[in-house]
Amino acid sequence: MTVGQNSYLCNSKKERLLKNTDNEIIGAISDLLAQNSSPIVVVPHSNPDGDAIGSAYGLAVVLKNAGHEVKIISPNDYPGFLSWLNGDIEIFNYQKMRKTSVNYLERCGIMFCVDFNDINRTDEMESAIASFGGTKIMVDHHPYPTAFCHYTVSEPEYSSSAELVYDFVVSLGLEQFLNHEAAEALYTGIMTDTGSFSHNTSRPNLYKVLSALMAYGIDTESIHGRVYHNFSVDRLRLMGYSLLEKMVVLPEYRTGYISLSRDELKKYNFVPGDTEGFVNIPLSINQIVFSALFIEKDGYVKVSLRSKGNFPANAFSSEHFNGGGHLNAAGGEIKLSLQETLERFTQLLPDYLHLLNNAD
């Protein structure tokens, strides 16, 4: 094992990077890694986005370079625009590779849960995570983590889990194991979770991390192209249809929303990831501070919410749509028809008029 036993001791002399995480926790994780000889699994949330896959991949590469056997198990498929992130580290799709995943999980001593704060974000994989026999470690930036891991590294002020993974790795004294591939993955997580550096970007630490990642010689223009210029024709036509035919703008409530039924998604050959980013589009309209995307699923509606300024998308979601998230980016779901969901949403808006008018 190449992980130094005393890496934590060296690092403890430096300024503490993770403000919410006690040095004792970092020390315990460091010791655990140093003593560990079994395989490690890194798990992102279900329907993983660029940050979930990017942060999981970056962490996995570092652990592999430090001498561990590491694989990522994603609860389900991840979007095609992230498929280039599968070089050095194998990614199992739990939904499609159940047996292989279960066999691997049984051999693992450590599980890292990245970019999610509640076990229910892993859908079908939930029971496998709950019954995991080894040590579970959460590394996440969503507020209000639930206690399903032995160690919780929760730092909600971070822009992305990828930014956090960088500081986590440095805190563990594993910086030497970062390489070009890990830097590309972490950059991808930061880029996608900040909407290409347009939100959650006011903390100076973000630029320190970005600067450190640049030192690995990554080609940011090429990464941008691989992620954003990698969509299907169907996805672009679905976006066009959504904006032209399905976007509803309510200027009196400074709100815009898009809803898509299962039939509409089928018509455009929807695959997971195709509606990624749609929820942000209404916010680009002058004076709009709250936007929503409603996607009809089998027996429920998936709700994504975005806001500007101090309008609390997370509180709106937890109060009405069984969800939560960040102040400006939240999600949830509700067991109603699509039509009922839209009625419920629009009927709620008058109660929030004051907050909407004073959001910015």
Looking at the Cβ atoms of 4 and 143, the one nearer to Mn ion is: 143
Site string for Mn ion, 135-174 (x = CB under 5 A): -------------------------xx-------------
Tokens of 32: 């655990």
Looking at the Cβ atoms of 167 and 296, the one nearer to Mn ion is: 167
Q: What is the CA radius of gyration of the chain?
A: 20
Find the part of the chain contacting Mn ion (CB under 5 A) among 30-38, 45-53, 257-265, 313-321: 45-53
HSE-up (13 A, CA, CB side) for residue 246: 23
> Element (H or E) spanning 114, and its range?
strand 110-114
Asked if residue 344 lies in contact with residue 320, where contact means CB atoms within 8 angstroms, the answer is yes
Q: What separation in angstroms does the CA of 170 have from each of 15, 59, 348?
A: 11, 11, 45
Looking at the Cβ atoms of 115 and 264, the one nearer to Mn ion is: 115
Find the part of the chain contacting Mn ion (CB under 5 A) among 21-29, 108-116, 194-202, 258-266: 108-116
Q: Is 115 a binder of Mn ion (CB under 5 A)?
A: yes
| Residue from the set 184, 193, 274, 296 that interacts with Mn ion by CB under 5 A | 193
Q: What separation in angstroms does the CA of 227 have from each of 57, 85, 182?
A: 15, 10, 16
Tokens of 6: 């005393």
Helices 204-214, 161-171: crossing angle, 10 deg rounding:
70
Q: How far is the CB of 48 from Mn ion (least distance, A)?
A: 10
Write the DSSP symbol of residue 296: E
Find the part of the chain contacting Mn ion (CB under 5 A) among 33-41, 168-176, 190-198, 323-331: 190-198
Which residues in 237-296 contact Mn ion (CB under 5 A)? none
Task: Tell me the DSSP string of 228-277.
Answer: HS---HHHHHHHHHIIIIIEEEEGGGTEEEEEE-HHHHHHTT--TTTTTT
Q: How far is the CB of 344 from Mn ion (least distance, A)?
A: 27
Q: How far is the CB of 28 from Mn ion (least distance, A)?
A: 24
Looking at the Cβ atoms of 160 and 275, the one nearer to Mn ion is: 160
Looking at the Cβ atoms of 280 and 346, the one nearer to Mn ion is: 280
Looking at the Cβ atoms of 21 and 160, the one nearer to Mn ion is: 160
| Residue from the set 45, 48, 51, 177 that interacts with Mn ion by CB under 5 A | 51
CA distance 289 to 303: 17
Per DSSP, helices labelled H in the chain are: 7-12, 23-35, 50-65, 98-107, 126-130, 161-171, 180-193, 204-214, 220-228, 233-241, 262-267, 313-320, 338-348, 353-357
Find the part of the chain contacting Mn ion (CB under 5 A) among 16-24, 43-51, 130-138, 177-185: 43-51
Q: How far is the CB of 161 from Mn ion (least distance, A)?
A: 5
Count of residues touching Mn ion (by CB under 5 A)? 5
Q: How far is the CB of 179 from Mn ion (least distance, A)?
A: 22
Q: Is 118 a binder of Mn ion (CB under 5 A)?
A: no
Looking at the Cβ atoms of 109 and 273, the one nearer to Mn ion is: 273
Q: How far is the CB of 285 from Mn ion (least distance, A)?
A: 25
Interface residue list for Mn ion (CB under 5 A): 51, 115, 160-161, 193
